[in-house]
Structure 1
Amino acid sequence: MAEASTQQAGSSTAKIWLGSYPPGVPAEIGPLTYRSIGEFFDHAVAQYSWRPAFTCMGKALTFSDLNTHSAKIGAWLQSLGLAKGDRVAVMMPNILQNPVIVYGILRAGFTVVNVNPLYTPRELEHQLVDAGAKAIFVLENFAHTVEQVLARTEVKHVVVASMGDMLGAKGAIVNLVVRRVKKLVPAWSIPGHLSFKTVLAKGATLGFKRPNVAPGDVAFLQYTGGTTGVSKGATLTHANLLSNMAQMELWLNTAFLRKPRPESLTFMCALPLYHIFALTVNSLMGLATGGNNILIPNPRDIPAFVKELGRYRTNIFPGLNTLFNALMNNSEFRKLDFSSLILTFGGGMAVQRPVAERWLELTGCPIHEGYGLSETSPVATANRLDTDDFTGTIGIPLPSTEVEIRDEDGRTLPVGEIGEICIRGPQVMAGYWQRPEETARAISPDGFFRTGDVGFMNAEGLTKIVDRKKDMILVSGFNVFPNEIEEVAATHPGILECAAIGVADPHSGEAVKLFVVRKDPNLTEEEVKRHCAASLTNYKRPRYVEFRTELPKSNVGKILRKDLRG
């Protein structure tokens, strides 16, 4: 990805975190080795062609298989007459088709728009329209959602996959179980769609042409609420992702100071690939290191997930506090052999000290916490991987990354003072897709991204988050914005006004609580929840509803969420 510079280029006494760096880690990543993810992909395939790259439900795809199949996808997309940089949406869980499609899109010179497959029609429509997506790949389980919004988008090409498409002989049995036994595929009809297998067959007859992709070209539109409630695309370039991979590779190498590196690495991929954390830390880093990612389509099924864990000698396990906690509460998980586990990486939400301590005691492997956002590709800071220490902080900036704590006027604050955490580095997004005003608000003139998180840096360069400047609610690592919840709830004729906040939740870190002033005195909690469920995906839905006669307001009439938080 990048050549590590031997000089600590650009370092200064202000970068106090450099004194806390692990031995041998440079301050800067140096120039990028590859111009694009496609070029990087070709190199990985040449180096590791025979190794498994992704495994799902017992079926492995080698790097060579991934190369062949993704080229077919790329060739088919190129045959549609799409322009370089056109957006292609991917609405898939963690199944083998996901990386085949994503790398096919990237290699062909197009832009990936990752979509949460559990989105409601309202959420999906906003994302497809905002991105101007021209095509979409969707698992049949979610095709009914696409059907409902298609006519109001620019999407002209729909490819529908089924769960068993890449599972060989057992694929037909898997499809039968999914469709007929578990009844997980609601009825749908999309005239003119193509099946995933048809597209692979068509692509095999077409020539794949390597496009000229520059480092500054857009690789992903990664949708996020940012620091406001409107979902918008973080514009991530090829250079953004390649830089973050180079930064993480330097950092990852230090984990092998604790425990020797095996000949080939096995990554556990339980987090969804449409989320920036798994996209970079699992998928891209798996390719970079010649590793095998074990894809878990439904990590919420803890007993099934534990069975999968028992089948592999996992070395690297990225996850969330809630996932680690749920696993440790499973008796079968506690019986597993953890001797192969080298790195447990916690992100997406704060890792709680009791969870980290139990995990270390049970597995012998510490949880190392990192921090980042969709806008930073994602990893900006991490704790040292060569120690067992749990610091309770988000760690220190990765190579070529600067963190400053700034006040409301953008002035840098001294060590120990609390302010907004701001990040500068090559992994910081180019901006928000087609939203120059939002971009200008989020990125300062000197290139620092304002995260909206409030914290302080100590004398060792470790940063601690203490609060959020924004009203964002963090549910199992996913951003939930009160504005969106309130907009949906307010469309109910029985609601006069409402306000949403986050409250502590032992399972998801935070959960949504909605305060409601009734217009209809007979309105019930169940009616409110049912109304919200129609337009909001599961993690955004209010778990709690409290009725009030009035809501606290400022002297200009703005509802004060901070007063509701107490």
Structure 2
Amino acid sequence: MKPGETRLNGQTIHSLLDAAAQEAPDAPAIRDATGRWTYRELAAAARAFARWLRRQGIGRGDRVVVQLPTSRELAAMFYGTSRVGAVFVPLNPAMKEFHLRSVVGNAEPELVLTDAAGAPVLRRVSTVPVHDIADVRPDLVPAGEDPGEAEAVAPDDLAVLIYTSGSTAAPKAVMCPHAQVTFACRALTEVLGYRPDDVVLCRFPMSWDYGLCKVLMTCVARCEIVLADGESDVRLLRRMRETGVTVVPIVPSLATMIVRLAGRDTRPVPPVRMFTNTGAALPQSTIDALRTHFPGARVVRQYGQTEAKRITVMPPGADRERPDSVGLPLPGTRVLILDDDGSPLPAGEVGEIVATGPHVMAGYWRNPEDTARSFRRDPRTGEPLLHTGDYGWLDDDGHLYFQGRRDDMFKHKGFRMSTLEIESAAMDVPGVRAAAALPPGDGHGLALFVESDLDAHQVITELTKRLEPPKVPTVCRVLKEFPLTLHGKNARRELAALIEGNGA
């Protein structure tokens, strides 16, 4: 492979693990609160799960819904499902019956696997066998060196359905084929420079592509992942020290928590060499605090959507350059900026961000309307195009600058603006730990929520020093704690309900 060239094409999820188990069988692979497996042990557990699935009659193309906490066992199930050619459908354990009913109905699985807490609910919403992992676990004992031959799986076969949050209650699952997933994970591993001696902390569920992708990226790099989704917040730094964590994927809420914990902790910091952020822009004050508490650590900005995993990454060695940029396209991919008519815009002009390349997923499961809207083909080249619905611009060197999501952009008092710039200004106010802005809506004006020790009047006063008058919120609410989505993002619908419920 030439320098800078990304290895890819024709790979499958389980082949990544097979290669790791062959090349580094005794290297530590995965750790959770209950123990640790080598790559040899992880591969054996995956083969055992594949054998169990075959005995249940599960084969190529069948959907397997799994609602379990993120663990070594769940990772083995992921690889084992791939091994029989079935489609892995991970659901967040926190998902409630209201959403489970529509998701299970949409996925139409052949089999459901959960725990004792989830079994009663899933049996109410499903017409297929629902298995309690406690009953299944005795059958998942690895059988020595049994090779457990994999099914013939094509690169364009579906590997995973990832259900994403949206603006409606209707479920929307991104179809993730083997080829696209393995390409994206290999490309990200290369660009971020994961090393065999790395230990990667993962605080995210495997039901989110951010967590799922980290399981695969560490496998590609032959390094270790520490799954800590369900572990106590207050023990986080201790856990990082105990396991020797070197890489920490973050979202802004997790970064804020790490900064807060590090500020109270007098013991030596964990040997973190890199933080990688996605989900939302990381305030500069948080970036500065991470660098202060973890000297020498890189803070890498990324931009992406589940529909293409990651779209751009700021190279780690350039993390202090172009502070407003979210980086360069992955190797072998491109980013276009298009106007409303679909024509390319020159550098410096704002338009819709469109990604093209082998990382673009296959569309939305059983949702042809939304698929046609977001997943298109270049009329000239036939390349897949992902219309993100986000806005940004490229500089002359191809770096992307994210301006806001479609829902973030709005007009107010004749001015076009973004919630992101208002939130960024709020986060610049000393004492503000988190911020979320809401565009004007029925019954309320431009609103801002903050987590802060300041009062609302003090926050607004500070914002008048940082924003033009039309961009200064008319409503400010100080919260003790922000409502968050299952993925750690601001829960904007819940925030809007707080405003509307009070008639502000």
Residues of 2 paired with 1:505 and 1:276: CA distance?
Answer: 28
Following the alignment from structure 1 to structure 2, what is the Cα–Cα distance between the partners of residues 502 and 112?
40
Q: Does 1:49 align with 2:16?
A: no
Q: Which runs of 5+ in 2 are unaligned?
A: 379-383, 410-418, 424-437, 453-484
Distance, in Å, in 1 between the alignment partners of 2:13 and 2:37 is 19
Aligned residue for 2:181, secondary structure, equals helix
* Contact 1:134 1:157 survives alignment (8 Å): no
Aligned residue identity for 1:367: V
By how many angstroms is 1:245 displaced?
Answer: 1.8
Distance 1:41 1:305 in 2: 28
Q: Is it true that 1:546 corresponds to 2:499 in the alignment? A: yes
Q: Deviations over 1:342-393 (max 9, x none)?
A: 22111122111110011011102131011111111x1110001113416232
Letter of the 1:246 partner, please give it: R
User: Is structure 2 residue 201 aligned with structure 1 residue 268?
Assistant: yes
SS of 2:118 mapped into structure 1? helix
Q: Where does residue 374 of structure 1 map in the other structure? A: 306
Determine the structure 1 residue equivalent to 2:389: 452
When residues 296 and 405 of structure 1 are mapped into structure 2, their CA distance, relative to the original with a 3 A threshold, is: same
- Identify the residue that residue 4 of structure 2 maps to in structure 1: 25
**Partner in structure 1 of residue 477 of structure 2:** none
| Aligned pairs for 1:158-197 within 5 A | 158-161=131-134, 195-197=135-137
Does the 8 Å CA contact 2:155/2:177 hold for their aligned counterparts? yes
**From 386, 398, 414, the counterpart of 1:461:** 398
Change (3 A) 1:64 1:413: same
2:68–2:115 Cα contact (<8 Å) kept: yes
Match of 2:98, SS state, is helix
Deviation at 1:310, TM superposition (A): 2.1
Whole-angstrom CA distance in 2 between matches of 1:413 and 1:348: 26
**Cα separation, partners in 2 of 1:49 and 1:95, compared to 1, 3 Å:** same
Give the match's secondary structure for 1:222: strand
2:279 — aligned with what? 348
Aligned residue in 2 for 1:308: 239
Cα deviations by residue, 1:418-452 (Å, 9 ceiling, x for unpaired): 11111111111111112222211112221211111
- Whether 2:162 is the aligned partner of 1:222: answer yes
- Per the alignment, residue 213 of structure 1 pairs with 153
**Alignment pair present for 1:245 and 2:189:** no
Check conservation: 2:44, 2:145, Cα contact below 8 A. Answer: no
Aligned partners of 2:68, 2:311: CA distance in 1, in Å? 27
CA deviation after TM superposition for structure 1 residue 457, in Å? 1.4
How far did residue 394 of structure 1 move?
1.4
Letter in 1 for 2:252: N
- Computed over aligned residues only, the root mean square deviation of the Cα atoms, in angstroms, reads 3.4
1:360 and 2:313 correspond: no
Letter in 2 for 1:84: R
Which residue of the partner structure matches residue 62 of structure 1? 38
Q: Is the 8 A contact 1:286 1:293 kept in 2?
A: yes
The aligned residue for residue 335 of structure 2 is 403
Which protein, 1 or 2, shows the higher relative CO under an 8 Å CA cutoff with sep ≥ 6?
1
SS in structure 2 at match of 1:233? strand
Query: Residue 206 of structure 1: CA displacement?
Result: 9.9
TM, length-normalised to structure 1: 0.70
1:549–1:539: structure 2 CA closer, same or farther, 3 Å change rule?
Answer: closer
Q: Which SS does the other structure have where 1:109 is aligned?
A: coil
**Greater CA deviation, 132-141 or 235-244?**
132-141
Identity level (%): 24
* Range with greater deviation from structure 2 (460-469 or 358-367): 460-469
The CA deviation at 1:223 is: 1.2
Q: Is the Cα contact below 8 Å between 2:335 and 2:355 reproduced in 1?
A: yes
**CA shift digits 1:392-416 (9 cap, x unpaired):** 3211101011111111221111111
Alpha-carbon distance in 1 for matches of 2:124, 2:492: 21
Letter in 2 for 1:160: I
Partners of 2:352 and 2:161 in 1: CA distance: 25
Q: Residues 110, 384 of structure 1: CA spacing in aligned structure 2 closer, same or farther, 3 A cutoff? A: same
User: Paired residue for 1:317?
Assistant: 248
Distance change >3 Å, CA 326–CA 246, structure 1 → 2:
same
Asked if 1:89 is matched to 2:22, the reply is: no
Q: Give yes or no for contact 1:72–1:203 (8 Å, CA) kept in 2.
A: yes
Give the TM-score normalised by the residue count of structure 2: 0.78
Partners in 2 of 1:149 and 1:84 — Cα distance?
24
- SS in structure 2 opposite 1:379? coil
CA 1:540–1:87 in structure 2 vs 1: closer, same or farther (change >3 Å)? farther
1:492 counterpart residue number: none
**1:458 Cα shift?**
1.7
SS in 2 for 1:146: helix
SS at match of 2:122: helix
Q: Please tell me whether the aligned partners of residues 250 and 276 of structure 2 are also in contact (alpha carbons under 8 angstroms).
A: yes
* SS of 2:191 mapped into structure 1: helix
Compared CA separation, residues 45 and 201, structure 1 to 2 (3 A): closer
Contact 2:13/2:178 (8 A) holds in 1? yes
Three-state SS of the structure 2 residue aligned to 1:432 is: coil
Letter in 2 for 1:96: R
Q: Is the 8 A contact 1:265 1:292 kept in 2?
A: yes
Shift of 1:539: 5.0
CA 1:58 to 1:247, structure 2 compared with 1: closer, same or farther past 3 Å? same
Partner residue in 2 for 1:126: 102
Distance in 2 between residues matched to 1:318 and 1:208, nearest whole Å: 33
Q: How much has 1:226 moved relative to structure 2?
A: 6.3
Match of 1:426 in 2: 358
Distance 1:217 1:323, change over 3 A: same
Cα deviations across residues 14-62 of structure 1 (Å, max 9, x unaligned)? xxxxxxxxxx534xx3553x53112222111111211221111251111
The answer as to whether partners of 2:32 and 2:228 remain within 8 angstroms in 1 is: yes
Please give the alpha-carbon distance, in whole angstroms, between the structure 1 residues aligned to 2:164 and 2:446: 18
DSSP-derived class of the 1:341 partner: coil
CA contact (8 A) 2:30 2:225 kept: yes
Letter in 2 for 1:467: G
Tell me how far apart the structure 2 counterparts of residues 502 and 131 of structure 1 sit (CA, whole Å).
Answer: 37
2:121 pairs, out of 110, 127, 145, with 145
Could you tell me which amino acid in structure 2 is paired with residue 295 of structure 1? L
1:452 aligns to what SS in structure 2? Answer: strand
Q: CA, structure 1 residues 149+206, in 2 after alignment: closer, same or farther (shift >3 Å)? A: farther
Q: After the TM superposition, which segments of 4 or more aligned residues of structure 1 sit over 6 Å from their partners?
A: 202-207, 226-229, 471-475, 497-502
What is the CA–CA distance in structure 2 between the aligned matches of 1:206 and 1:399, rounded to whole Å?
37
Instruction: Give the Cα separation in 1 of the matches to 2:502 and 2:273.
Output: 54
Aligned partner letter, 1:324: A
TM-superposed deviation, 1:75: 0.6
Separation in structure 1 between the aligned mates of residue 256 and residue 490 of structure 2, nearest angstrom:
20
Q: 2:215 aligns with which of 283, 293, 306?
A: 283
Trace 1:474-489 onto structure 2 (pairs within 5 A).
Answer: none
Letter in 2 for 1:330: L
Contact 2:59 2:84 in 1 (8 A): no
Asked if 1:76 corresponds to 2:16, the answer is: no
Give the distance between the partners of 2:240 and 2:145, measured in 1 at CA.
Answer: 38
SS in structure 2 of the partner of residue 448 of structure 1: strand
Give per-residue Cα distances to partners, 1:50-109, cap 9 Å, x unaligned.
Answer: 122111125111111111111111111111222311001121222222112111111121
Provide the rounded CA distance (Å) in 1 between the counterparts of 2:221 and 2:363: 29
Pick aligned residue for 1:155 from 124, 128, 133: 128
Structure 1 residue 231: deviation in Å? 2.6
Say which is worse superposed, 416-425 or 225-234, in terms of deviation: 225-234
Give, as a single letter, the amino acid of the residue that structure 2 aligns with 1:450.
Answer: H
Q: Which runs of 5+ in 1 are unaligned?
A: 7-23, 162-194, 256-260, 476-481, 487-496, 508-532, 551-563
Shift of 1:505: 4.6
Structure 2 Cα separation of the partners of residues 235 and 441 of structure 1:
15
